[in-house]
Structure 1
Amino acid sequence: MSHSPQERPLPVIAVVGPTGSGKSDLGVSLALALDGEVINADALQFYRGMDIGTAKINVEERKGVPHHLLDTMDVTQEASVADFQEECRAAIMDIHSRGKRAILVGGSGLYVRAALDVLEFPGTDPALRKRLEGECEAHGLAPLRARLEEVDPVSAARLGDARRVIRALEVHGLTGRPFSSFMPQREYFQPSVQIGLSVDREELRERLAVRVHRMVDAGLQQEVERLDALGLRHGKTASRALGYSQFLKVLDGHMEVEAAVEETIVATRQFARRQLTWFRGDPRITWLDWQDSELLAKAVASANGTQSSG
């Protein structure tokens, strides 16, 4: 018996894993196999012109599959998880309303969780924050921490630095709720399936080094130069991106190209390790071998499986 979409919504599919593991290609293959459309969940691929250094999938590689939330921002803008959550959920609703499958692809862990999980973002109050910062400067962190212990002992035990203690007090002042009550549970916002690409770490290390060298050969320095003219170094998020921050130093004469390449390789490997740690912490992910000859068939089976909310 067939269900109407209202009775049984199609699960959102998310393809996750470390940088360089083949997420973009699998996302396209899944979209072709399942009549789907891809939503980008890589924070740096929102930026127009940041193509080489983010390994952004080009038009040819998309094979006609519509891609959403790619190239939506200028390099001077700051990416916001809360904005992404709103835009991503709107894109999912749009895709599903047309009877297609929504396939989220990306390695930015917090962005993936913001899209998939029940996760609220409390607002900000600049005046309140300024007042708290002033108190911290005048009297030190101890009185603020004592106040946080009273209203939110969970956060007080968990947060160390002044910036986060102030943020927790700001949220409590703003909402009347402890900051810790906004901490995400692993609970899907709507039925979802997460597919993780499991990698051979040694092979990934090698692949990432080759990949950085290829980016440089493809003109990463020229890309950084072009974006610098558009305000790259004034963009908080974009200017810190792997490869981009290193090649800004090259442009400034503070670093040789070879050193920038090496630093980018080291930083990219560290980033991949952090991504693996993040995603390994989520027991709901179905892990598939990145080099399995049956990868697509297994991914399709997972996407059509019985995993849903919870």
Structure 2
Amino acid sequence: MTAPLITVVGPTASGKSGLAVELAHRLAETGAPGEVINADSMQFYRGMDIGTAKVTEDEMRGIPHHLFDILDVSQEAAASEYQPLARQKIAEIRSRGGTPILVGGSGLYVRAAMDIIDFPPADHTVRTQLQQELTDRGSEALREELRAKDPASEAVIRDDRRLIRALEVVRITGGTFTAFMPPHRYEPSVEPVVQLGTDVPRPVLRERIGQRVHDMVRHGLADEVRALEHEGLRHGRTASRAIGYQQFLAVLDGQHTHAEAVEQTINATRKLARRQDTWFRADRRIAWVPALETDRLEQAMRIISSAAHG
């Protein structure tokens, strides 16, 4: 019998990594030990440890973890390139009798691993032109163009990187970016799949995010950013825009004070958590587990067992 792909998804600071490790150990008792596959796009980057709350060796508790630290900060992450890597890891873990556990809050990367998705074409020349237009004309002018040609995408896109990507697809294909996001359907080669979501009450999550950012700063986030600047952080289109890293690069430039960077990081992370929650709540296949309850592991295992016998 094929072990299910288990996903553990949800907003940042909701306890995904901890639950995944607990599940991996519990599944070992069933003879199909779990191994974790990363689906957080910022945790692909070597050296971006503190600011991404990357799981430490102690927190891994001996569980194999895959697809962490696979990119330099100057490289660009892409869901289309992640897709075959994740699916290869899923197959490898199953081949040795294990259970793959996909963990992360980057919704598109989760879907890339498990769903039927054909990624839209890319054109470096068009993207470079759009980046220059962003500099010359500003984001609002590009947003107006996207609103006219693909209003569904414009309504949900919040950052310039995705704005450029959506317009790139529009200009290349003459169609819409949203046309490439099909209904929620699992890739047959990846099935069976059981999706778990970590549910934390919003007021509690807000407090957890604030505390997490303060902990990151106390553990040396500013020094981590300073060190990564020498590794090419500023030149990384993805990494340089990561929450926390973007804000503390501005401190190095004298644009913000340390206190302003902390507050902006907290606010940006809370906004990210709301977007993540909205994304995952739209997927009716996800079973939500109260992440703060003492029996969360038992609840998760019951969901997995029910799916296996259902």
Does the alignment reach a TM-score above 0.5?
yes
Say yes or no: does 1:15 pair with 2:16.
Answer: no
Q: State the one-letter code of the partner of 1:185.
A: P
Q: State the one-letter code of the partner of 1:12.
A: L
Say yes or no: does 1:200 pair with 2:198.
Answer: no
State the shift of 1:206 in Å.
0.9
Give the match's secondary structure for 2:81.
Answer: helix
Matches within 5 A, 1:19-38: 19-34=12-27, 35-38=33-36
Matches within 5 A, 1:83-232: 83-126=81-124, 158=152, 164=166, 167-171=169-173, 182-189=180-187, 190-232=191-233
Which structure would you say has the larger Rg? 1
State the shift of 1:298 in Å.
1.1
Percent sequence identity over aligned pairs: 50
- What CA distance in whole angstroms lies between the structure 2 residues aligned with 1:78 and 1:122? 17
CA offset digits 1:62-107 (Å, max 9, x no partner): 0000000001110000001001111000000000011100000100
- Corresponding residue number in structure 2 for 1:55: 53
Question: So what's the TM-score if we normalise by structure 1?
Answer: 0.83
Given that residues 11 and 308 in structure 1 are in contact (C-alpha distance below 8 angstroms), is that contact kept between their aligned partners in structure 2?
no
- What CA distance in whole angstroms lies between the structure 2 residues aligned with 1:53 and 1:61? 16
- What CA distance in whole angstroms lies between the structure 2 residues aligned with 1:300 and 1:227? 40
Given that residues 74 and 237 in structure 2 are in contact (C-alpha distance below 8 angstroms), is that contact kept between their aligned partners in structure 1?
yes
- What CA distance in whole angstroms lies between the structure 2 residues aligned with 1:164 and 1:216? 34
How many positions carry a matched residue from both structures? Answer: 284
State the shift of 1:263 in Å.
0.6
Q: State the one-letter code of the partner of 1:171.
A: T
CA offset digits 1:13-35 (Å, max 9, x no partner): 00001100110000111111111
Of residues 87-96 and 300-309 in structure 1, the stretch that sits farther from structure 2 once superposed is 300-309
Q: State the one-letter code of the partner of 1:55.
A: A
Give the match's secondary structure for 2:306.
Answer: coil
Q: State the one-letter code of the partner of 1:21.
A: S
State the shift of 1:125 in Å.
4.2
Q: State the one-letter code of the partner of 2:88.
A: A
Distance 1:219 1:11, change over 3 A: same
- What CA distance in whole angstroms lies between the structure 2 residues aligned with 1:220 and 1:180? 36
State the shift of 1:307 in Å.
6.5
Unaligned runs of 5+ in 1: 134-139, 150-154
Question: So what's the TM-score if we normalise by structure 2?
Answer: 0.83
- Corresponding residue number in structure 2 for 1:306: 307
Give the match's secondary structure for 2:307.
Answer: coil
- Tell me the C-alpha RMSD between the 2 structures: 2.9
- What CA distance in whole angstroms lies between the structure 2 residues aligned with 1:178 and 1:235? 27
Give the match's secondary structure for 2:272.
Answer: helix
Q: State the one-letter code of the partner of 1:164.
A: A
Displaced runs of 4 or more, over 4 A:
125-133, 159-163, 177-181
- Corresponding residue number in structure 2 for 1:287: 288
- Corresponding residue number in structure 2 for 1:262: 263
- What CA distance in whole angstroms lies between the structure 1 residues aligned with 2:113 and 2:235? 27
Q: State the one-letter code of the partner of 1:226.
A: A
Distance 1:102 1:258, change over 3 A: same
- What CA distance in whole angstroms lies between the structure 1 residues aligned with 2:211 and 2:231? 29
State the shift of 1:11 in Å.
1.6
State the shift of 1:304 in Å.
2.7
- What CA distance in whole angstroms lies between the structure 2 residues aligned with 1:308 and 1:111? 28
